[in-house]
């Protein structure tokens, strides 16, 4: 019987070890490697045969959204299951657009995890019940044409929501204030608003904040 080869991607060793422990006694599943960020995960799949990736979102260097998008473009046969604490619709939409095959919250049970791995390995999509309800309860108008902000635009947006000025954002992100202004202009154009107040209101209404 062939085994489903798993790559674990998370920047916390306790999560990696916990997932290994959960899966080590499952006959048809084997953990073949692990990585602490998206860059390392992409390096691993170049030389290691991987069927399913369990991918975290928040990681240094390259986060799970960007890693998912690149991995799906380069290795479309690899299935990616997002495993995270985030349940905001903005994260879910961005991961779906990036090509994720499933989305689970980290409070899942062992049975849920194994079931999800086997489902996506066999070509199905899999979302935890909490995620499914979140999508069903969201405004369907927002799902028709989801706005695709870049990762840097998302960084700028979060700092604008926190009340930082262009200069302060530039220092935080190590970019010029002119570059910040360019991202801010792009954000407002995509959101269809004319000022920062409108942008913040848009972000809150559409689930880009907690």
SS in 3 state form for 108-144?
CCHHHHHHHHHHHHCCCCEECHHHHHHHHHCCHHHHH
pLDDT value of position 39? 95
pLDDT tens digits, residue range 41-71? 999 999 999 999 999 988 888 989 899 999 9
Q: In what order do the strands lie in the sheet with 102-105?
A: 29-35, 4-9, 52-55, 79-84, 102-105, 126-127
Domain with CATH 1.10.10.10 in the chain: 147-205
pLDDT higher than threshold 70 for residue 207:
no
pLDDT tens digits, residue range 106-142? 888 899 899 999 999 998 888 776 655 455 445 444 4
The answer to whether 103 and 82 are in contact (CB under 8 A) is yes
Confidence (pTM)? 0.64
What six digits make up the tokens of 71? 């991995």
Of the candidates 51, 33, 52, the residue with the CA atom closest to the CA atom of residue 43: 33
Q: How far is 137 from 127, CA to CA, in rounded Å?
A: 15
pLDDT value of position 149? 81
| Cα-Cα end-to-end distance for the chain | 44
Averaged pLDDT score across all residues of the chain: 85
pLDDT value of position 142? 44
What six digits make up the tokens of 90? 């903005």
- Higher model confidence: residue 117 or residue 191? 117
Domain with CATH 3.40.50.2300 in the chain: 4-140
> In sequence order, what DSSP letters do the residues of 15-76 get, joined into one string?
HHHHHHHHHTT-TTEEEEEEESSHHHHHHHHHHS--SEEEE-S--SSS-HHHHHHHHHHH-T
With cut-offs at 50, 70 and 90, classify the pLDDT of residue 84.
confident
Rounded to an integer, the average pLDDT of 191-209 is 78
Class of domain 4-140: alpha beta
Four-way CATH pick for 147-205: 1.10.540.10, 1.10.10.10, 3.40.50.300, 3.30.2270.10: 1.10.10.10
pLDDT higher than threshold 60 for residue 33:
yes
- Buried b / exposed e over 79-88, threshold 16 CB at 10 Å, is bbbbbbebbe
Of the candidates 187, 196, 129, the residue with the CA atom closest to the CA atom of residue 162: 196
């Amino acid at each position: 019987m062939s085994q489903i080869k798993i790559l674990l991607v998370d920047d916390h060793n306790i999560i990696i070890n916990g997932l290994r422990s959960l899966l080590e006694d499952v006959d048809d599943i084997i953990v073949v490697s692990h990585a602490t960020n998206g860059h390392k995960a992409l390096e691993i799949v170049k030389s290691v045969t991987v069927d399913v990736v369990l991918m975290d979102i928040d990681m240094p260097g390259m986060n799970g959204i960007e890693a998912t998008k690149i991995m799906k473009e380069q290795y479309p046969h690899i299935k990616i299951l997002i495993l995270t604490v985030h349940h905001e619709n903005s994260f879910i939409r961005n991961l779906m657009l990036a090509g994720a095959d499933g989305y689970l919250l980290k409070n899942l049970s062992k049975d849920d995890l194994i079931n999800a791995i086997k489902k996506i390995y066999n070509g199905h999509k899999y979302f935890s019940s909490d995620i499914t309800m979140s999508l069903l309860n969201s405004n369907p108008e927002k799902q028709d044409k989801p706005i695709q902000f870049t990762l840097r635009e998302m960084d700028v947006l979060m700092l604008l929501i926190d009340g930082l000025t262009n200069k302060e954002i530039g220092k935080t992100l190590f970019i010029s204030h002119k570059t910040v202004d360019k991202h801010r202009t792009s954000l407002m154009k995509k959101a269809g608003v004319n000022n920062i107040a409108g942008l913040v209101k848009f972000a809150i209404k559409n689930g880009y904040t907690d």
